[in-house]
């Protein structure tokens, strides 16, 4: 038996994660087309648009759209990457904006200026020895595909996505090894417009539409895995789950069954992407709900033969469920997955449960289920950072959160979980995906910009900057 206690392996990919739409800005620059996220304003309308219940095909007068400028990474990427390098990043997870490459989504030719931008970013990363981890679709779809075809409702999207994936796999085959297909693919069930550009018509059967769109994304994901491996046999192509185990509120078997079913709502996607077929519980669910999935000949084989190489996941919080209506009243706010408040745990300022042990449990749960390497591609705490009189940000609450989670990640490794890396969310402050706020900050680097888009965009280091640098330097041994 192996007596050595294993913690972070040699070459562990420490780093941070960002997404194009929350970071880049330059929303129509150099030929980029409008994407779904560019139509998400802050304020009241945001949630109805995100759930697909309020159609919006162009920006509205009087609304503020935070993605349009975001933190202007498009023009600041060199400065930002050099700060990441100063922290010792081994990897940076970022996404390509589909509409920078194919502005309408169905264009005959890609947009060279868009391709060039990512060439520049990847070259800059390489210069600093930072490995890019690239998501093909992080909550964005070119708006033209929504208007013309109904986005992922349509099978046509599979073909357009394949063309986009093949274009970027080919262009960057010497620069990018790690890919992820769809960010938090299970988000489609909770925020269908965010996850898949879905807008519902009056009277439409939403569940039917969502699972049909999910089928299209799952097939597109398998095709991307196939294409990626054909273009570069060394490529590592993963899926990405918004993870977080669901606990049962009580030992009542009804609660336990409910918790299992809630987890399966999410596992459904990864079961298909990693095990290569629709699980029995999903078939039963479809039967009982009268959901019919239109599949094409060959879909089954595609799903079976092109499963993912690794499982990427985000972990922010565990979830808690109960079948007792009096307990259900006590639900947490700000969590799109819906959870009741866990009496044993604290919450963030946005109501997200803080549960470091849940991180270890979730990692074990995923590894037990899939037996493939895991990659933690998001984790962190959104908090309000206020500079003190000297202009410093002493974000000890962030350090505490990350320290506790990294400790539990090391426990998971000792449990035998195979982990490739850890990219914490938003290493530089970016726009919040759920609320569109800038004041919900995750970064080690502060960006001077507020909820209304005011500010100099200057970057400065928070206390956590030096802390994370030392974590990386010591390969996770020094968390003090
Ligand atoms: C994940 C997303 O859901 O959580 C990110 O992949 C998002 O895009 C992150 O930003 C944190 O959520 P929020 O709403 O605090 O930005």
- What's the CA-to-centroid distance between 432 and ligand 1, angstroms? 6
Whose structure tokens read 């900050």?
441
Residue nearest to atom 5 of ligand 1 (CA): 433
442, two tokens? 């995750």
Residue 1 has pLDDT above 60, yes or no: no
Range from 27-31, 332-336, 383-387, 419-423 carrying the lowest mean pLDDT: 332-336
Q: Quick one: pLDDT at residue 3?
A: 60
More confident residue, 273 or 6: 273
Q: How confident is the model at residue 329 (pLDDT cuts 50, 70, 90)?
A: confident
List beta partners, residue 95: 135
Q: What is the mean pLDDT of residues 41-51?
A: 96
* 63 CB burial (10 A radius; 0-12, 13-18, 19+): middle
pLDDT digits (tens, 9 = 90+) for 94-114: 999 999 999 999 999 999 999
- Predicted pLDDT at 341: 92
Instruction: For residue 380, give the ligand 1 atom closest to its CA.
Output: 11
Q: Which residue has the tokens 């562990």?
A: 12
Q: Name the residue among 241, 290, 240, 239 with its Cα closest to residue 263.
A: 241
For the CA of 139, the closest atom of ligand 1 is: 8
- pLDDT, one tens digit per residue, over 163-184 is 999 999 999 999 999 999 999 9
Nearest CA to ligand 1 atom 10: 433
**pLDDT, tens digit, 9 for 90 and up, residues 357-395:** 999 999 999 999 999 999 999 999 999 999 999 999 999
Q: Could you identify the atom of ligand 1 that is nearest to the CA of residue 442?
A: 15
pLDDT score recorded for residue 2: 54
Q: Is residue 123 pLDDT above 60, yes or no? A: yes
Question: What percent of the chain has pLDDT above 90?
Answer: 95
Please calculate the CA angle 317-236-230 and round it to the nearest 5 degrees: 140
User: 6-27 pLDDT, tens per residue?
Assistant: 689 999 999 999 999 999 999 9
Which residue's CA is the closest to the ligand 1 atom numbered 7? 433
Backbone angles phi, psi at 87, to 5 degrees: -75, -10
Distance 326 CA to ligand 1 centre (A): 30
Residue whose entry in the numeric block shows the structure tokens 């409702």: 153
Q: Which atom in ligand 1 lies closest to the alpha carbon of residue 242?
A: 3
pTM for the full predicted model: 0.97
Are 319 and 247 within 8 A, CB to CB? yes
pLDDT(65) > 70: yes
Q: Indicate whether residue 429 lines ligand 1 (CB < 6 A).
A: no
Average pLDDT in the chain: 96
pLDDT (0 to 100) of residue 336: 80
In this prediction, what percent of the chain has a pLDDT beyond 70?
98
Residue-wise pLDDT for 423-480, tens only, equals 999 999 999 999 999 999 999 999 999 999 999 999 999 999 999 999 999 999 999 9
Tell me, using a 6 A CB cutoff, whether residue 433 lines ligand 1: yes
**377 SS3 class:** strand
**CA 402 to centroid of ligand 1, rounded, Å:** 16
Distance 477 CA to ligand 1 centre (A): 28
Helix-, strand-, coil-residue percentages of the chain, each rounded to 5: 45, 15, 45
Q: Is 242 in the pocket of ligand 1 (CB under 6 A)?
A: yes
241 versus 333: the higher-pLDDT residue is 241
Question: Could you report the per-residue pLDDT of 147-161, keeping only the tens digit for each?
Answer: 999 999 999 999 999
**pLDDT digit string (tens) for 212-260?**
999 999 999 999 999 999 999 999 999 999 999 999 999 999 999 999 9
Ligand 1 centroid–CA 127 distance in Å is: 28
- Among protein residues, the one with the nearest Cα to ligand 1's atom 9 is 433
Query: What is the per-residue DSSP string for 238-275?
Result: EEEEEE-PEEESSS-HHHHHHHHHHHHHHHHHHIIIII
For 128-154, what is the mean pLDDT? 98
Residue to mutate (ligand 1; options 434, 438, 447; most atoms within 8 A of CB): 434
* Domains within the chain, CATH numbers bracketed: 13-473 (3.20.20.80)
Residues labelled as active-site residues: 184, 378
Which atom of ligand 1 has the smallest separation from the CA of 440? 15
* pLDDT for residue 333 is more than 70: no
Q: Is the CB of 314 under 6 A from ligand 1?
A: yes
């Amino acid at each position: 038996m192996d007596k050595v206690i294993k913690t972070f392996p040699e070459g562990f990919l420490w780093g941070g994660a960002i997404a194009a739409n929350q970071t880049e800005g330059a929303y129509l620059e150099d030929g980029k087309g409008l994407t779904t996220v560019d139509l998400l304003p802050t304020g009241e309308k945001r949630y109805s648009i995100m759930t697909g219940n309020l159609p919006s095909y162009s920006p509205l007068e009087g609304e503020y759209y935070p993605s349009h400028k975001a933190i202007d990474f498009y023009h600041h990427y060199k400065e930002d990457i050099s700060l990441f390098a100063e922290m010792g990043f081994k990897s940076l997870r970022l996404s390509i904006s589909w509409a920078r490459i194919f502005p309408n989504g169905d264009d005959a030719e890609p947009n060279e200026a868009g391709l060039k931008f990512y060439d520049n970013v990847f070259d800059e990363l390489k210069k600093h020895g930072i490995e890019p981890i690239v998501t093909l679709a992080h909550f964005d779809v070119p708006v033209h595909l929504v208007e013309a075809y109904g986005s992922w409702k349509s099978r046509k999207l599979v073909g357009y996505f394949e063309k986009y994936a093949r274009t970027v796999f080919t262009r960057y085959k010497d620069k990018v090894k790690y890919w992820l297909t769809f960010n938090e693919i299970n988000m489609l069930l909770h925020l269908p417009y965010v996850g898949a550009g879905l807008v519902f018509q009056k009277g439409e059967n939403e569940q039917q539409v969502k699972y049909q769109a999910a089928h299209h994304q799952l097939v597109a994901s398998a095709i991307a895995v196939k294409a990626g491996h054909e273009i570069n046999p060394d490529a590592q192509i993963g899926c990405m789950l918004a993870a977080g185990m669901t606990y049962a509120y009580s030992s009542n078997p009804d609660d336990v069954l409910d918790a299992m079913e809630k987890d399966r709502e999410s596992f459904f996607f990864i079961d298909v992407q990693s095990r290569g077929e629709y699980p029995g519980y999903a078939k039963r669910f479809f039967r009982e709900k009268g959901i019919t999935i239109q599949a094409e000949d060959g879909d089954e084989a595609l799903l079976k033969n092109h499963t993912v190489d690794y499982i990427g996941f985000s972990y922010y919080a565990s979830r808690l469920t109960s079948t007792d209506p009096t307990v259900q009243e006590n639900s947490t706010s700000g969590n799109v997955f819906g959870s009741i408040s866990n009496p044993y745990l604290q919450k963030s300022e946005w109501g997200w449960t803080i549960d470091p042990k849940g991180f270890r449990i979730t990692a074990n749960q995923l590894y037990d289920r899939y037996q493939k390497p895991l990659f933690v591609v998001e984790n962190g705490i959104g908090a309000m950072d206020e500079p003190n009189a000297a202009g410093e940000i002493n974000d000890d609450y962030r350090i505490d959160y990350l320290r506790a989670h990294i400790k539990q990640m090391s426990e998971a490794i000792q449990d035998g979980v195979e982990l490739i890396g850890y990219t914490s969310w938003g290493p530089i402050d970016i726009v919040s995906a759920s609320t569109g706020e800038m004041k919900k900050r995750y970064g080690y680097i502060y960006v001077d910009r507020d909820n209304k888009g005011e500010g100099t965009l200057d970057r400065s280091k928070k206390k956590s900057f030096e802390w994370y640098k030392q974590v990386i330097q010591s390969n996770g041994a020094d968390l003090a």
